[in-house]
Amino acid sequence: MIKYSSRYASSPQAVKQYDTKQLREEFLIDDLMQEGEITLVYSHYDRYIAGSATPVTPLTLETIDPLKSSYFLERREMGIINVGGNGSVVVDGTEYQLGFKDALYIGSGNKEVIFKSDDSKNPAKFYINSAPAHKSFPNQKVSLAEANKLQLGTMETANHRTVNQMIIGGIVTTCQLQMGMTELKPGSVWNTMPAHVHDRRMEVYFYLDIPENQAVCHFMGEPQETRHIWMNNHQAVISPPWSIHSGAGTSNYTFIWGMAGENLDYADMDVCKITDLK
């Protein structure tokens, strides 16, 4: 079963007027990881798709109407990270085993994608990102151990974290999709601080490893007009190109970042001074 919805782009001027309810309706994705379903959100920011597949029995990825394509990856590429039990993704007959926090890149032109769980009582939970692609590149699995690891922040500023670059240049060749996973150390709560914007790319954050009865406050908006969205485990949030994307939790946690746009340079960003945020 596939469920999908569309989200239209919002200007920073419009977002200034949103109340909490409208802000959450426009940017929060709160229905992911439903057992037995593929759930997708089609964003008009860079035509990005974020979603999930949680197979109890095998789930086949089918095209959706907004794509106007004969199959899902006809003009798209895809990144997948498993945040549940062990499972596999079968791509045009080739099966890729994905353990917890393993990633898979699938290039455009692949016609059949099937999601499977090794154990239906502990199903795989595949987090999905997809972006338009003008060229086909080879499929590639990237385990968490194979990620390029960056150690950022400090315990003194409560943002000591490991950035695992997984589907990114130097590891995987893509058209525009980039994905990775940032793990905060115990005692640290701030992510992506100092905050930044990158007008040439949009981004989606997916939060996980949030302990029971804890939450993350995600900050967004223009640097001088910030807003916040309280988020729970296995929820995602869309970040427009003009918006900061940062968060602070009541505990440490992990988040998956995915982005697309016209620039594959990971370091292409405009950093905002902490003291300038409003």
Q: Which residues define the annotated binding site for Zn(2+)?
A: 196, 198, 203, 245
Task: Give the dihedral sign, CA 29/202/36/33.
Answer: negative
| 30 C-beta neighbours (distance < 10 Å), count | 13
Nearest to 228 by CA among 219, 236, 237: 219
Four-point Cα dihedral 270, 24, 51, 255, nearest 10 = 50
What is the C-alpha separation between 62 and 51, in angstroms, rounded? 13
DSSP string, 112-167: -EEEEES-TTS---EEEEEEE-SS----EEE-GGGSEEEEE--TTTT--EEEEEEE
Which residues are registered as beta bridge partners of 60? 114
Strand order in the sheet with 244-249: 190-191, 244-249, 216-222, 225-231
Binding-site residues: 196, 198, 203, 245
Residue 241 CB-density burial (10 A; 0-12 exposed, 13-18 middle, 19+ buried): middle
C-alpha torsion sign, points 232, 78, 48, 149: positive
What six digits make up the tokens of 61? Answer: 């990825």
Q: What is the CA radius of gyration of the chain?
A: 18
Give burial (CB, 10 Å; 0-12/13-18/19+) of 47: middle
